[in-house]
Amino acid sequence: MTTPSTRQTFFFDDVFTDLAFLHTLTHHGFGGAALGECYAAAATITAGDPESWRSSWQAVAARAEADAVEAEAKGHLASARNCYLRAVTYYWNASMGIRHTDPAFRAAVEKYRSLFVRFGALSTPTIEYVQIPYEGTSLPAFFMPADSSGGPHPTVVIGDNVSEELYYWVGPPAVQRGYNALLVDLPGIGLNWMNGIHFRADTEVSVGAAIDYLLGRDDVDANAIVVYGGGEPGGYVMTRAAAHEKRIAACVADPFVPDNRSIYEIASRDDWANQDAAGDTLGAVLAGQLRQFYAPPAGSAMAVTSSDARLISVPFLCLNDSSDAADLIDSAARAITSSPNPLSAHRVFTPQDGTSGYRELDNFDLKHRAMFDWLDEVLGRTATPAAATGALKMP
């Protein structure tokens, strides 16, 4: 598996603080962060200290929120929209420094969600806050339409982290290319675990509920619903779903993760476990949150289940970082070799491509070009289908 603690640090000596900061900087390209505000926050952060991280980002977030409220009150809606989005990023950052056992954690999530709802309402086209029916309850989600025409479009589904964060992983680049995007808090994610909706290994059930919702919309092409899983949890969640949910038209895994055991082991790997042993560190807080997102219900054990690539009959793209462990890259290569679909592909990004960061955080544009260009080709949205050019088996 990928080991974040082996990466070269960029700004902070503490690897988890550094990675979270780099992550924040990537939002700049989508209007979700301002470099000056980020560095202003960084100047008051003590690396590795969760309270320092929390208070620094809360201060920047409060200023961005105040600017948004003032701009909206004066009718400057574009400025208000931009400020709301930056406030969401900074409040989300602040929540990363709050232990999941602290009552402030729920309040923090509710805060940035309410501001993202406001951002969505001011966006063009409007980003809709929706509730997806799921086993007698519902999953919160945001639907981003490709345009305002109401006509059917291909749609990307993502759901392995809170929706406000997933916005950056597929949202704007999807809409830019004529795709809808559905950002959904799947079971366990966000506040779902607090509300009794826990992670389940048979992810095709919850992803299937999201597809049920999409099929009720006139602006969704029923034959072009694709799924994307980013990070190790998402690499399992969406490939498992694609292996069993036959209404999925294509799947992108960044990276491919063959079974759910890998998810449960993430927070107990040496690099995370050492943080817990160190006590009150940002890494320990993040590990605790991660465990809650992907933990089984209290008192139950989680069986090991697989995301067998041989069962994925649709086009399947696996992405890997150059820093991924060899077994993670090898498992993706084997998955593509065993894929029954000739359009399936595997790409390992290298420093020469312009990225050496975890999950291409230092070059999101590269990730988006790779996945969406491939999707355009396998969905037949290009003038020259990739199958005819031999361009699909990426190095």
- pLDDT tens digits, residue range 45-103? 999 999 999 999 999 999 999 999 999 999 999 999 999 999 999 999 999 999 999 99
Question: In the structure, what pLDDT confidence band is assigned to residue 179 with cuts at 50, 70 and 90?
Answer: very high
- Alpha helical stretches, state H, the chain: 15-26, 35-42, 50-73, 77-95, 104-122, 163-176, 204-215, 231-244, 261-266, 270-278, 282-293, 326-338, 364-378, 386-389
Distance CA 307, CA 305 (A): 7
Angle, CA of 376, 381 and 387, to the nearest 5°: 70
* Cβ neighbours of residue 114 closer than 8 Å, sequence gap 6 or more: none
Cα–Cα distances in angstroms (integers) from residue 180 to residues 28, 173, 239, in the given order: 22, 10, 20
- In the structure, how many helices (H) and strands (E) does the chain have? 14, 8
Question: In the structure, what pLDDT confidence band is assigned to residue 106 with cuts at 50, 70 and 90?
Answer: very high
Distance CA 149, CA 161 (A): 29
Q: Which of 62-71, 269-278, 328-337 has the lowest mean pLDDT?
A: 269-278
Per-residue pLDDT of 110-136, as tens digits, reads: 999 999 999 999 999 999 999 999 999
Question: In the structure, what pLDDT confidence band is assigned to residue 280 with cuts at 50, 70 and 90?
Answer: confident
Angle, CA of 313, 318 and 323, to the nearest 5°: 160
pLDDT of residue 7: 53
Total residue length of the chain: 395
Angle, CA of 345, 351 and 354, to the nearest 5°: 85
Question: In the structure, what pLDDT confidence band is assigned to residue 8 with cuts at 50, 70 and 90?
Answer: low
With a cut of 90, say whether residue 310 has pLDDT above it: yes
Stretch 190-216: mean pLDDT: 95
Q: Which residue matches tokens 């600017």? A: 67
pLDDT of residue 276: 47
Q: Hey, how many other C-beta atoms are within 10 angstroms of the C-beta on 102?
A: 13
Q: What is the mean pLDDT of the chain?
A: 89
Q: Are strands 250-254 and 316-320 parallel, antiparallel or unpaired?
A: parallel
- DSSP code, position 295: P
pLDDT of residue 37: 97
pLDDT of residue 384: 45
Give the gyration radius of the chain's Cα atoms: 20
Backbone phi, psi, residue 103, to 5°: -55, -20
Stretch 221-247: mean pLDDT: 95
Comparing CA positions, the residue from 160, 155, 108, 95 lying closest to residue 128 is 155
pLDDT of residue 265: 65
Question: In the structure, what pLDDT confidence band is assigned to residue 290 with cuts at 50, 70 and 90?
Answer: confident
With a cut of 50, say whether residue 227 has pLDDT above it: yes
Per-residue pLDDT of 334-361, as tens digits, reads: 999 999 999 999 999 999 999 887 888 8
Distance CA 140, CA 130 (A): 6
* Cβ neighbours of residue 36 closer than 8 Å, sequence gap 6 or more: none
The pair of three-digit structure tokens given for residue 358, joined into one six-digit string = 């975890």
pLDDT of residue 76: 98
